Structure 1
Amino acid sequence: MALQTNRKIQHLATLNNQFRLLIDDNHVVYVTVEPGILPRGDWSFIDFLSFPPGDWNRGHISKNRRTGSLGFSSISYDSVPGVENIWHHTYIDHLEFERIGSLGRNVCIVTHPFFHYPVIIKFASFPCEIDYIETETTMYHRLHGTGISPGFLGHVTENNRGVIGFVLQIITDSRPAEPRDLTICQDVLARLHTQGIMHGNIHKDSFLVQEGKAFLIDFGISYLCDEGKEHEIECEHLEQLLAGA
C-alpha cells in the first residue's frame, strides 16, 4: 500500500478504539485501531504513522506480528450513515464553524458568518451516534415554531457523509430548573405532551429557564406517544425531580 508521509493529520474525536481524523484540513476519515495494541486514549500513532493517499474514509490499523510495527492493514471508501430527516433550508459544513466553547461531548458553542451571534452545534462524531441526532432532528422538526424548544437554525454537514448534526439558538442568560420553577416546567412539559412527544430523559438540565419561561432540550431518546398515562408518569417524575433538587 503506497503511503504519503507529509499529510497534515488532526485528531477530532475518539470512541474506544475508533478515531475520527481530519486529513489536510478538509477530509474526514474514520480509523479503527486493532484492540489492545495501544493504551486506552492514546492517539500518538498520528504523529509517526504514514497515512495512505487517495479517496478513502475508513481505515484499519493493526500490528505486524513479525516486526511489531503499526500500519494500515486496509482502507476503503464506504457509505457512512447520516441524518435522513433533512427539513431545514440551511446547511453548514462542520469545518466552517469557529469553536469558542464546549458544553459537553459533541456539543459546542461556535460562531459562523451566517449568524450575528454565537450558536450551539450538536453532532454525531461517529456513525454509531447518528440515531440520537436523527431523533433530535425529527423532534425539533415537530416542535419548530412552538416555542417549546430553542430555535433550530440548520443542519451541520460533513463531506462524504451528509448531515451529522444541527445548529441551535442559544437561550441567553438561562439556567437549569430549580424547585421554584416547577410551574413553568410543568407548563412546557404539558405543551410537549400536547405535541404527542414523550421527552424520555427528564432532568434539571433538560430545562433552560429564562426570565420566567422554560424551554426543553436534549431530545435524543424522545419518542412519539399519545398515551395519557405515560404523560402523567413523566409529569410525576418532574415533580419528584424538582422537589428533591
Structure 2
Amino acid sequence: MANDRPFEGPVPVNDDDRSSCDDETNSESSGTQVRDTDEAWSDAGEDFQAQITEVEESLGEAQNQQAQADSNETCNTVPEHSYERGCFIWAPAATTMRHWPCARYAVITSEGDIFYKYLTVVENLQQNINCRKQGFFQSREFIEMGPLYLMPGDWNTAKLYLFRRKNRLAYKVFRPVLKVLPGLNDQALWPEKPSFDLNDLEPWLDYPDGLDKHSALFPCVHEPAFGGKPMIAKLWLTPACIPRGIETEMMAYRAAAGTGLTPEFIGHVTERGRVVGFLMECVQGARKPVWRRDRESCREAVKRFYEATGWLRADKGNRRHNFLIKDGNALLIDLSTALSPANVQRRPQGWVEEMLGEDLGGCWSL
C-alpha cells in the first residue's frame, strides 16, 4: 500500500506538520468538489478580475498569515498513486500589486487526456517569496520545484501557496473549485471559421518533465486531421489576463481578410468548449525586416491596411518585429493594439497622418 502524503511538495512532510481537517476539506481531498454556483464566473474577463481583487482585499495586511492558515486546513492525505502531475505552462512575467498572478498548469491523465488547472499564486513576503517580481516564474528556484502533485478530482481553479522548507521552494495547493470559466467575446468570433480543440494541437502539448518552455507564447503547431500544415497558435493564457488584446486582434484579422496584408486567419482554439485563442497561417519562407531596406515596405503595408479596413495599427505596434517580409512584400502580425475605425475617428486631426509617417510613429526601431 502506498504511503499517505499531503497535497504538498516537493519536500515530504512529517506527521507533526499535519493539521486536522474539517468536513469541507475532506470532500475536497476525495475529489468531490461542489460546483461554486454562488461565485461562478461570468463570461466577462473583467468579472473574473474583480473576483480575484475581492479575494486579495479580503486578506488585507494579514494575507500571508491567512494563506498559511488556509493551506494548513487543506493539508489532507490521499494515497500517493492518486496524485495528478501538473506541468507548469505559463505565468505572467510580472503583475501589479493589486493582483496575484494566475499560473496555468496542465494535467495529463493516464488515458492521455489533458486538463488545465489555473492556480492563483499567493505570495509569502515573510519568507521573501515575491511572486510578483519580474522573472520569478522563470527563476531556477521555481523551475526546479518541478511538476506539482495535485489532488485528483474535477476542479479547475485553486490557490497555490509557496514557502521554503530545508532551503528549497515548496508548495501547498488548497481551495480547489470547479468554476465556469469565461470565454472570449462573441463579437470577436468568426462563425464561419472552424474550431480546434487545444488538446488536438501538436507538438506543443508534448510536455516533457520539468517543462521550461513557458515563454513560447506563440508556438508553431499542427492538427493532423487538418492536413498537418503548420499554424501559429495565439492563446488567451489564463482567465486572469484581460482578453481585450486578443479579441481586438481577432476582429482586426477579420477586417483584413482577403487583403493579403496579414497571414491567413485559420480558426479558433477551444478548451473544453470555450474559445481561448486562434490559429493563423505560419508563413513559410518569411523573414523579419531589415532595418533600412524593408522600412518603406512596412510603412506602405500599414497605410494599405488602414485604407482597406479603416483599422490603424500605431505607436509601439509598428515596431519592426511585428512585420514579416515574404517575396519582397510586408505582412502585418500582432494586431492586438490596432485601433478600430470608431477609435480612429476619435483621434485629433492630423494624428493618422503622423502615425503613417516615414518613421511609423517613432516606434520602428523598438
* Structure 2 length-normalised TM: 0.58
Deviation at 1:134, TM superposition (A): 1.0
- Partner residue of 2:189? 86
Deviation at 1:28, TM superposition (A): 0.8
Q: Which runs of 5+ in 2 are unaligned?
A: 1-24, 31-77, 95-100, 131-135, 164-169, 205-212
Deviation at 1:171, TM superposition (A): 1.8
Equivalent of 2:152, from 53, 59, 65?
A: 53
- In structure 2, relative to structure 1, the CA distance for the partners of 1:22 and 1:180 (3 Å cut) is same
Query: 1:17-56 maps to which residues of 2 (within 5 A)?
Result: 17-23=101-107, 24=109, 25-36=113-124, 40-41=136-137, 42=142, 47=147, 50-56=149-155
> Which has the larger share of strand?
1
Give the RMSD, CA atoms, in angstroms: 3.0
Question: Aligned with 2:150: secondary structure?
Answer: coil
Query: 1:130-149 maps to which residues of 2 (within 5 A)?
Result: 130-149=243-262
Structure 1 window deviating more from structure 2 (6-15 vs 198-207): it is: 6-15
Residues 83, 151 of structure 2: 8 Å contact kept = no
Deviations 1:56-97 (A, max 9, x none): 211013379xxxx84333122223232222114210111211
For 1:215 and 1:96, the matched residues in 2 are separated by 28
Say whether 1:77 aligns with 2:178: yes
- Partner residue of 2:217? 106
Deviations 1:172-215 (A, max 9, x none): 22122232223432321111111111213101112111112111
- Runs of 4+ aligned structure 1 residues displaced above 4 Å come to 43-47, 239-242
Say whether 1:199 aligns with 2:313: yes
| Alignment size in residue pairs | 238
* Structure 1 length-normalised TM: 0.83
Deviation at 1:43, TM superposition (A): 5.4
Equivalent of 1:177, from 269, 289, 292?
A: 289
For 1:78 and 1:6, the matched residues in 2 are separated by 21
> Percent identity of the aligned residues?
24
Structure 1 window deviating more from structure 2 (76-85 vs 32-41): it is: 32-41
Residues 91, 102 of structure 2: 8 Å contact kept = yes
For the pair shown, which has the larger CA radius of gyration, 1 or 2?
2
Query: 1:154-233 maps to which residues of 2 (within 5 A)?
Result: 154-159=267-272, 162-178=274-290, 179-194=292-307, 195-200=309-314, 201-224=317-340, 225-226=344-345, 229-233=350-354
